[in-house]
Structure 1
Amino acid sequence: MRKYGLFLAAAFLIYMSFLTLEKSDYAVSGNQYKDPVLFVHGFKGTARSFNMMIGRFEERGWGERALTINVTRTGRLLVREEPFSADRPAFIHLIFENNRASFDDTSRALAAVMQVLKKEYGVERVKIVSHSMGGIVSVKFLQELYNPDLHPMTDQLVTIGSPFDGVSGGRWFIQNQGPAVYDLMHGSPALAKIAANHNRFPSGTNVLNIAGTGDQVTRLQSALSFKALVPEDQYRVEVLYDKNITHSGLHETAIVDEKIGAFFDYK
């Protein structure tokens, strides 16, 4: 009898876990999301990519983590809600499980996330903080897929070390694999298409482009080529002249935090 009771208890726990997972998929929230900020990682990015920056922003009192959205390899969106203060900016941590996918696939995944944010969470306007390839797919989404009826308006976009003219260095291409590797090559059709769509950038999206002289993956010229894709009055640039700040180190640097905070007018 005792074994039967233990079996029922175990079955109940498994069932409840299943319900929780299902509920996290496109969960509907009654929370009000104030000034939401979406964090979009780059090639081979993981939950760690922006975890520290979000934590530092929270310590500064700039906002609180509100949602974590995982996009699975099959395109399923798993949304985890966090307890947060509705009167503070809401931080949304986006994680692509297929973190080496092409620009096309990743930008479509981003569009699906944006659609869920608007439809299920009532988000009408959003800011984006992106690193490396995350900045490229954010721009591709804004150029080709943004639909005001389906997606929140992106008021501000921050790109950090994004190689809009491709990644330099043959060693990097030997060390890495996946469809995105071909898209990130200098002169690739994927980058050429983004450059050709320079006149399709939304007029209401202001940009802060952050680049660094110590970035060993995204050379300064590649990062600064973003200027050609954005109307002049919507574009700002900040260059970190510090050889010690690497590509991955850009989103782990207090100076970058401060520049983003100033751009977003955080106090």
Structure 2
Amino acid sequence: MFTGRQFSYVFAILILSLFSVFVIVEIVDKTRLSDPEYAASQSEVKAYNQEIPTVFIHGWKGSERSFQTMFNRFSAHYHGPERAFVVRIDPDSSVTVSGNMKNKRIPLIQILFTDNHASMEQQGIWLRSAFRVLKAKGIDRMNVVSHSMGGKAFTCYLETARNPNAYPKTEKFVAIAAPFDWIGGPNKTDFSLGQLKSNSALYKYRARIPHDLHVLAIAGVNNRHTESDGVVRLQSAFFGKYFFNPKYYSEKIIYGRNAQHSKLHENPAVDQLIADYLWKIKPKG
């Protein structure tokens, strides 16, 4: 048994030992924080953790080339965006993924439909298959960029994905020249808003779209007289305003020769809109 004096002595030694450990740990932490290499590595880890993948969906009759040059421009002129996965979806809904996410600060994922002229509804089904695979690979959140009919297919996916936990959560959606008011194909004449609301399946089920989804609609005007990009009119590209939460919905118009429908995803001005909206980055100085 310890006497009172012995107990006090042992207790004092324990307190001093613990204090020494805390001092050593603090010195080590301060040394690491002042080390430029350590600080840089921690900053890099933080940056990787903060970024989420961006999925690109081509339009009707699109292919790997549809977004390939945009990917090349992002890699060449911006810090961060790099191609990561290519996701191919066959008509039987089987999904093949190639590439990797390793060391990609802003991973870019390209969706490719083997049957690239299927209906919006069918492509919506295929997207569910693809996004389940991405979820299984550990992707819990994503941004989405689409061109033309890819925007309608993705909106159809949003309205038909009934189990949100089975898919990555979409944070932001950029729809480039999406013909949101087309019903069964290109409209020969402009429908009235009432007609569109009565006949558009996307409008009918709009309440199923997540209300916290942030959306940027980009439209092109290469002919001011027709207010269109040669294929999709402004009214069509911006009809999404009736689908998405107006609190998080915005629109941008690109003008000029390179605002033609098939040239929009080749236009550096569109690159810049995407980079700023999704990643808050600017071209290299």
For 2:59, the equivalent position in structure 1 comes to 42
Cα distance in structure 2, aligned partners of 1:198 and 1:107: 15
Which consecutive unaligned segments of at least 5 residues does structure 1 have? 1-30, 167-181
**Contact 1:45 1:99 (8 Å CA) reproduced:** yes
SS at match of 1:104: helix
Whether 1:136 aligns to 2:137 is no
Q: Which residue of the other structure, out of 125, 140, 157, is the alignment partner of 1:124?
A: 140
Q: Which runs of 4+ in 1 moved over 3 A?
A: 31-34, 185-191
**Contact 2:57 2:151 (8 Å CA) reproduced:** yes
Larger radius of gyration: 2
**Contact 1:64 1:85 (8 Å CA) reproduced:** no
For 1:200, the equivalent position in structure 2 comes to 208
Structure 1 residues 205 and 146, CA, compared in 2 at 3 Å: closer, same or farther? farther
**Contact 1:37 1:91 (8 Å CA) reproduced:** yes
Paired amino acid for 1:108: I
For 1:16, the equivalent position in structure 2 comes to none
Whether 1:109 aligns to 2:110 is no
Cα distance in structure 1, aligned partners of 2:199 and 2:57: 19
Identity across aligned pairs (percent)? 32
Paired amino acid for 1:162: A
Cα distance in structure 1, aligned partners of 2:170 and 2:163: 11
Structural mapping, 1:83-94, within 5 Å: 84-86=102-104, 88-94=105-111
Q: CA deviation at 1:223?
A: 0.7
Whether 1:261 aligns to 2:279 is no
**Contact 2:82 2:107 (8 Å CA) reproduced:** yes
Q: Which residue of the other structure, out of 219, 239, 250, is the alignment partner of 1:236?
A: 250
Structural mapping, 1:55-94, within 5 Å: 55-59=72-76, 60-82=78-100, 84-86=102-104, 88-94=105-111
Q: CA deviation at 1:198?
A: 2.2
Cα distance in structure 1, aligned partners of 2:197 and 2:115: 21
Whether 1:227 aligns to 2:241 is yes
Q: More deviation in 46-55 or 196-205?
A: 196-205
Paired residues in the alignment total: 220
Q: Structure 1, residues 2-53: CA drift from partner, whole Å, max 9, x if none?
A: xxxxxxxxxxxxxxxxxxxxxxxxxxxxx98941000000100000001111
Q: CA deviation at 1:101?
A: 0.6
Whether 1:183 aligns to 2:200 is no
**Contact 2:213 2:245 (8 Å CA) reproduced:** no
**Contact 1:126 1:152 (8 Å CA) reproduced:** yes
Q: Which residue of the other structure, out of 95, 104, 112, is the alignment partner of 1:95?
A: 112
